[in-house]
């Protein structure tokens, strides 16, 4: 059965780094774009990054731009989220999700809320604290 599994979360100090993994089983990950979401306690889920299925271009929300990097390893059927210079406000459960097209308001008029997501992982906890 099609499944996404996130891993790599943990407890780090402010300014530290983590690399999250999103591993697919039951389907080929490079047939989809992959978006990363996060949800902090008491807050709504927010999309933060996406890597497209076609040209592999990457997109980031301003809150993580310059600090986070998303990449693919098709041989391992895995997408990664490298998280650098972590801040306490990055504390959240992080999820990956498969989609056909990354949301781009400027190109397609699409948003995180209007995009259709095919599969979701169960999430991995990231805690940034001193």
**20-56 confidence digits (pLDDT tens):** 999 999 999 889 999 999 999 999 999 999 999 988 8
Residues of the chain whose pLDDT is less than 70? Answer: none
Query: What is the structure's pLDDT at 59?
Result: 95
Residue 17 CB burial class (10 angstroms; 0-12, 13-18, ≥19): exposed
The pLDDT score that the predictor gives to residue 120 is 94
Number of Cβ within 10 Å of residue 89's Cβ equals 11
In DSSP terms, which residues pair with 4 in a beta bridge?
24
């Amino acid at each position: 059965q099609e499944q996404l599994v996130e891993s790599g979360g943990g407890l780090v100090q402010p300014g530290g780094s983590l690399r999250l993994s999103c591993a697919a089983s039951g389907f080929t990950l490079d047939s989809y774009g992959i978006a990363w979401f996060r949800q902090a306690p008491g807050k709504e889920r927010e999309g933060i990054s996406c890597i497209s299925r076609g040209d592999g271009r990457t997109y980031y929300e301003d809150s993580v731009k310059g600090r986070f990097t998303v990449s693919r390893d098709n041989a391992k059927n895995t997408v990664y989220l490298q998280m650098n210079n972590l801040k306490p406000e990055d504390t959240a459960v992080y999820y990956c999700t498969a989609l056909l097209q990354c949301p781009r308001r400027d190109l397609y008029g699409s948003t995180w809320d209007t995009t259709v997501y095919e599969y979701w992982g169960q999430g991995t906890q990231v805690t940034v604290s001193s």
